Amino acid sequence: MQILKEEVRANILKAALLEFKQVGYSNASIRRIAMAAGVTSGNIYRYYKNKEQLFDAIVLPVHNQYIDSLEEIRRKVQLSYARGATSAPDFFSRIERAFIELFKTYSSEFTILLNRSEGTKYEGVKPELEDLVSSLLERVLAKPVGDEVSPSAENRAVAGMLASTIVEGICVIFRDNEEGETLKFLIDQYLSVYSKGIAGLIHSDKENRSGCCENNH
Amino acid sequence: MQILKEEVRANILKAALLEFKQVGYSNASIRRIAMAAGVTSGNIYRYYKNKEQLFDAIVLPVHNQYIDSLEEIRRKVQLSYARGATSAPDFFSRIERAFIELFKTYSSEFTILLNRSEGTKYEGVKPELEDLVSSLLERVLAKPVGDEVSPSAENRAVAGMLASTIVEGICVIFRDNEEGETLKFLIDQYLSVYSKGIAGLIHSDKENRSGCCENNH
Amino acid sequence: MQILKEEVRANILKAALLEFKQVGYSNASIRRIAMAAGVTSGNIYRYYKNKEQLFDAIVLPVHNQYIDSLEEIRRKVQLSYARGATSAPDFFSRIERAFIELFKTYSSEFTILLNRSEGTKYEGVKPELEDLVSSLLERVLAKPVGDEVSPSAENRAVAGMLASTIVEGICVIFRDNEEGETLKFLIDQYLSVYSKGIAGLIHSDKENRSGCCENNH
Amino acid sequence: MQILKEEVRANILKAALLEFKQVGYSNASIRRIAMAAGVTSGNIYRYYKNKEQLFDAIVLPVHNQYIDSLEEIRRKVQLSYARGATSAPDFFSRIERAFIELFKTYSSEFTILLNRSEGTKYEGVKPELEDLVSSLLERVLAKPVGDEVSPSAENRAVAGMLASTIVEGICVIFRDNEEGETLKFLIDQYLSVYSKGIAGLIHSDKENRSGCCENNH
DNA sequence: TATGAATGAGTCTTCATTCAT
DNA sequence: GATGAATGAAGACTCATTCAT
C-alpha cells in the first residue's frame, strides 16, 4: 500500500528531527533518517532538495521567530533603559517570556537550532544570543549611579561568563524537558537563582570581591 | 636527522588535542592531525592503534583522575552528611576545588572529555557528573530539619535542573578561558552566584513558591 | 477536461525532440522531457516503453528513409558508373538532393540521428554514410582513364578524409540552420566549394602534390 | 607489489584520456577510469581532486597553448591586413601551421578539448575558434576592392557556414588520424580543397550566384 | 488513462585504516 | 620506525523506471 504524501513528509521530518537532535547536522546520516522514516534514501530527495534544506525545514520557522524575539527584546530594553529602569529581574523576565514562548511552539527544533547546528549557517545563533545577553548584563553590573564610564575589564569578563552560562543553562533545561508546566517552573526557578545570585554579586562586590566562598585555592 | 620517537608522539598528541577540541571526536580527521603534527597519517598508527585509542591517550588520564575526584567528593559529602553539616556553599566549594584542580592539570583535555566526546565511550561522563551533583543538591534543597522523607518530585526536578546547568556552565567557562587567574576568578563568581541564588531559593521557598520573579506568564 | 491521447503523445515527442537535440541521448532527462511536455514522468511510459523507444519514435522514421536514400544513391551511382560517367558534381548533386529531401521532412530529427545518437544503436549511422561517400570519392579521385587498378593508399586516405569532412560539414550546417531558403543556399555553396576544390585537387594532383599551399612545415 | 606513484598517475591519465575521448566529460565514469587504470576509484582522488581537475590535467596544457596560438593568429592577421594583403591561402596556411603544431604535441588531448568538453568550462572553445575564422573569412569574401562596406548578410552567413565546417573538418581529421606525415598531408589537402573552392566561389559570385551546381531543388 | 511517490542502482567523493616499500 | 599509496565502505545525491492509487 502506498502511504499518502503528507504522511511520508511527516515521517521524514520526525526521523530527521530525532537524528539531528541526537547527532547534530554534520553527523546526521540521510540513510539513517530514511530508514527511520521507513523510506528509501532516494525518496527523501523528492521532499527536500538536500540535507541542508531538510535541516532548514526543521529549523527555519524557529529561527525566524527567534530573530523577531531578539529584536523585540532589544527594543524593549532600549526603551526601559531610556526611562532609567534597568534592573536584573526585568531583563530576565523579558528573556524568559520570549524563550518560553518560542519553546512552547518548537521545543526540539529550538534545541537543535541552538545546540546542533554546527556546520550550518545557523551556527552563529547561540553566540549572538550570548552577546546580546552579555551587553545587557554589562549595564546591570555597572554601578547603579547613572555614570557613563565604560565597564571595567573585570565586569566585562563576568558579564560574558554569566551570559554564556545563562544561555547554555536555558538550552540545557529546554533540552531536558518537554514543554509544560514543569518546564516553565524550572525556567522560573533557574532565572530566579541567577537573579538573586547576581543581585548578591553586585552587593558583595561593593565591599570586597569574592566575599561568599571561603575556598582559598 | 631522525626525530626521536617521543618527540613524534608528543607532536601527534598536541595536534590531536587541538583537532579534537576544535571539531570533536567524530568530525576529527586523522589526516589533518597527521599534517598538523608533521607526520604521515600512516605513521600515527604506529603510535596509536586507531582513532579511538588516540582519543583515549588524550582523555584517559583526565578521566581517571576525574573518576577519583568524583569518588572523593562522594565520600566526603557522605561524611559531612553523617556529621549533619550539609550547606550549599560547602558542596560548591568542594566541587569547585576538585574541578579547578583537574582543570589546572588538564585544561584542554578536560574540556574535550566533557564537551567533545560525542561518539565515544565517554559520552556518559557529563551526565554522570550531573547525576552526582543532582543527588547532592537534593539534600541541600530538602528541609533543613533532619527528616528522612525522600525529596519531593518538585525538589528532584529543581535539583536535576540546577545540577545540569551548573555543570554545563562550568564546562562553558572552561571552554572559553585558558587556565589562569581570570579563570579561577570567573569560576568563583559563577559558583558564588549559584550559591547565593540557591540560598535565596531555599529561603523564598519556605514562604511561597517562585516568590521573586514577578513575571506572570 | 482530459487531454486527448494523441495530443499528449505529440507533446511528449515535441519535448523529447528538443531535449535530445540539446543534450543528446544519454544526457537527456526523462523528467525534464515530462515537465516540458506538461506530463508526469510516469505517464511517458504509457506511450513509450523506455527512453530508448522514445528515442526510436523520433529517429526511426528518418532512419528508414535515410537507409532508402542511401540505397538509391548506391544504385544510381552504380548505374552511372556502368555507363562510364562519374564526375564529382554528379555525386555531390545526388547526395545533396537526397539530404535536402530528408532534411526538408525531418530537420531536427535528422540532426539528432547524425549528431546526438551517441549511446544508442544509431551511433554507426554517420560512419556508414561516410563510408559510402568515401567509396564514391575513391572513384572520382581515381585516374579518369577507365583502368581497373584499385585506388592507391593515398587516394584512399584522401577520399576518407574528404568523406568525413563533407558529411560532418553537412551535419554542422543542418545543426545550425532551420529548414528554409538560407539552408538550401548554404548547402549549395558548401557543396560548390567542395566540388570546385576537389576538381582543383585532381588537376593539381596530375602535376605535383600539394601544389597550392605554400606552407612548408 | 606496489606500483610506483608516477606510473599510477600515468595509468590514470591514460585511462582518463581514453574515457573522455570515447564518451566525453559528462558521460565519463570515474569508476570505469579507475578500473581501466587498475586502480580503486578512491585512489584516483589522491592524484586529482575531482573529476573536473582530472579533466583539466589532460586538457589545460593544450588549452593554454591553443589560446596563445589564437592570439598569435589574430595579431599576424591584423598585421597582414594593415599591409593590405589578405588572401584566403594566407589565412589557411597560418591556421594550419598553428593547429598542426598543437596537434603534433597533443593529438588526443586536442580532440577532447574541441569535441568532448561539453559540460565543462571549455565548451566554448570551438565556438570561439569558429568566430575567429568566420571574421577572417568575412574579409576574404568581401569584394577585393578596398571598400569599407560592411559585409552583406549573405556573405556573413556563408562565412559563418564555412568557418564552422572548416573547423569541424579539421577536428574530424585530427580525430581520425594519429600524428604523422599522413595527417599533415591530409590537412594540407583539406585546406587546399577549401582554398580552391573558396577562390572559385568568389569568382563565380561575381557573375551569378550558385553558378556551378546544376541541381534545381 | 494518468498520477506521482517510490525504488534502487548509479554518480562523485571522503576518510579511517592497512601495507608494501 | 617511517612513508604514503592503496583500499573499501560510507557519505550525499540523481535518475530511469515501476506501481499503487
Check if residue D26 sits with its Cβ under 7 angstroms from strand E: no
Q: Which residue is nearest to nucleotide F16 (CA to C1')?
A: C30
What's residue A11's pLDDT? 94
Confidence at residue C153, expressed as pLDDT on a 0 to 100 scale? 87
Is the CB atom of residue C41 positioned under 7 angstroms from any atom of strand F? yes
Cα–Cα distance, C137 to C91 (Å, whole number): 8
Q: Which of D104, D125, D108 is nearest to D22 (CA)?
A: D108
Residue of C nearest to D202 (CA): C193
Least confidently predicted of A1-5, D47-51, D147-151: D147-151
- pLDDT above 80 (res C179): no
Amino acid at A72: E
pLDDT beyond 60 at D215: no
Q: CA nearest C211 in D: which residue? A: D192
> Do B and A touch, counting CB pairs below 8 Å (3 needed)?
yes
The pLDDT value recorded for residue C56 is 96
Q: How far D142 CA lies from chain C's nearest CA (Å)? A: 16
Q: φ, ψ for residue A135 (rounded to 5)?
A: -65, -35
Report which of A106, A97, A98 is spatially closest to residue A175, judged by C-alpha positions. Answer: A106
Percent of chain C with pLDDT over 70: 82
The more confident residue out of A199 and C99 is A199
Give me the percent of chain A exceeding a pLDDT of 90. 47
Residues C116, C120, C125: CA angle, nearest 5 degrees: 70
Question: What is the predicted pLDDT for the residue at C175?
Answer: 84
Answer whether residue A45 shows pLDDT above 60: yes
Any atom of strand F under 7 A from CB of A189?
no
Q: Which three cell numbers stand for residue B4?
A: 626521536
Q: φ and ψ at D106, to 5 degrees?
A: -130, 75
Q: What own/partner pairs with CB < 8 Å and gap ≥ 24 does A18-24 have?
A: A20/A55, A20/A58, A20/A112, A20/A116, A21/A108, A21/A111, A21/A112, A21/A116, A23/A116, A23/B118, A23/B119, A24/A115, A24/A116, A24/A117, A24/A118, A24/A119, A24/B118
Query: Which of A186, A195, A212 faces B192 most closely, judged by CB atoms?
Result: A212
Q: Pick from A105, A172, A201 the residue to mutate for testing the B interface (most B CBs within 10 Å).
A: A172
Query: Which A residues between 32 and 51 have a beta carbon under 7 A from any strand E atom?
Result: 39-43, 46-47
Percent with pLDDT over 90 in chain D? 46
The confidence score (pLDDT) of residue A215 equals: 41
Higher-confidence position of A65 and C2? A65
B65 residue type, one letter:
Q
CB contact under 8 A, B165 and A168: yes
Q: Distance between CA A179 and CA A99 in Å, rounded?
A: 12
Q: Which three cell numbers stand for residue D30?
A: 570515474
What is the number of other CB atoms lying within 10 angstroms of the CB of residue C44? 23
Task: Judge whether residue A95 has pLDDT over 60.
Answer: yes
DSSP letters spanning A106-149:
-HHHHHHHHHS-TTSTTTTHHHHHHHHHHHHHHHHHS-SS---P
CA distance C139 to C121: 30
CB proximity B216–strand F (7 Å threshold): no
Number of neighbouring beta carbons within 10 Å of residue A203: 11
Cell of B113: 572529555
Cβ contact (<8 Å) for D186 and C158? yes
The cell numbers describing D58, all together, are 589532460
Residue found under cell 540557591: B198
Do residues C140 and C198 lie in contact, with contact meaning Cβ atoms separated by under 8 Å?
yes
**By CA distance, what is A22's nearest residue in B?**
B118
Pick from D74, C165, B60, B172: which is nearest to A161 by CA? B172
**Residue B29 banded pLDDT, cuts 50, 70, 90:** very high
Whether the per-residue pLDDT at D195 is higher than 90: the answer is no
Is the distance between the Cβ of C146 and the closest atom of strand E smaller than 7 Å?
A: no
Contact between C97 and D217 using a beta-carbon 8 Å cutoff? yes
Q: Find which nucleotide's C1' atom is closest to C30's CA.
A: F16
**pLDDT computed for residue B104 by the predictor:** 77
Contacts of A65 (CB under 8 A, 6+ apart): A102, A105, A106
For strand E, give the nucleotides within 7 A of a protein CB. Answer: 1-21
User: Average of pLDDT values for D12-27?
Assistant: 94
D5 CB neighbours strand F below 7 A: yes
Kindly indicate the confidence band of residue B150, based on its pLDDT and cuts at 50, 70 and 90: low
Alpha-carbon distance of B78 to B85, in angstroms, equals 10
pLDDT for C143 equals: 59
Give CA–CA dist C88/C201, Å, rounded.
11
The residue in chain B having the minimum alpha-carbon distance to the alpha carbon of residue A88 is B213
**CA A173/CA B113 separation, integer angstroms:** 21
**Which tops the pLDDT comparison, B53 or D140?**
B53
- How buried is residue A58: exposed, middle or buried, by Cβ count under 10 Å (0-12/13-18/19+)? buried
How close A26 gets to chain B, by Cα (Å)?
Answer: 8
Please give the pLDDT value at position C58: 95
* pLDDT single digits (tens) B47-74: 999 999 999 999 999 999 999 988 888 8
Which pLDDT value is given to residue A216? 39
Q: Which residues of A touch B160 (CB under 8 A)?
A: 176
pLDDT at residue number B17: 95
Q: Judge whether residue A28 contacts strand F, using its CB and a 7 Å cut-off.
A: yes
Residue of B nearest to A190 (CA): B162
Q: Which nucleotides in chain F lie closer than 7 A to a protein CB?
A: 1-21
> Do B119 and A197 lie within an 8 Å CB cutoff?
no
Minimal CA separation from A188 to chain B, in Å: 7
Q: How confident is the model at residue B84 (pLDDT cuts 50, 70, 90)?
A: low
Average pLDDT over residues B143-166: 79
User: Nearest CA to the C1' of F5 belongs to which residue?
Assistant: D5
Q: Which of A23, A89, A173 sits opposite B161 (nearest CB)?
A: A173
Q: How many CB pairs under 8 A join C and D?
A: 158
Give the rounded percent of residues in chain A with a pLDDT score beyond 70. 82
- What is the average per-residue pLDDT within C188-215? 69
Label residues D157-171 b or e (16+ Cβ within 10 Å = b): bbbbbbbbbbbbbbb
Residue D54's nearest nucleotide, by CA–C1', is E12
What average pLDDT does the segment A32-49 reach? Answer: 95
Q: What is the pLDDT of residue C84?
A: 62
| Of residues C151 and D56, more confidently modeled | D56
d(CA A21, CA A40): 21
**Angstrom distance (rounded) from CA C50 to CA C31:** 12
Name the neighbours of C, counting chains with at least 3 Cβ pairs within 8 A.
D
Report the gap between the CA of A210 and the closest CA in chain B (Å): 7
Q: C-alpha angle with apex C199: C193 to C205, nearest 5 degrees? A: 130
B116, pLDDT greater than 50: yes
Residue range A151-163, pLDDT digits in tens = 688 899 999 999 9
Cell of D168: 569541424
The answer to whether B176 CB is within 7 Å of strand E is no
Choose the weakest-confidence range: A116-120, B115-119, C4-8.
C4-8
Whether the pLDDT of residue A164 is over 90: the answer is: yes
How high is the pLDDT of residue D127?
92
Residues of D in contact with C165 (CB under 8 A): 165, 168-169, 172-173, 190
- pLDDT above 90 covers a percentage of chain C that reads 41
Q: What chain B residue is nearest to A164 in terms of C-alpha separation?
A: B172
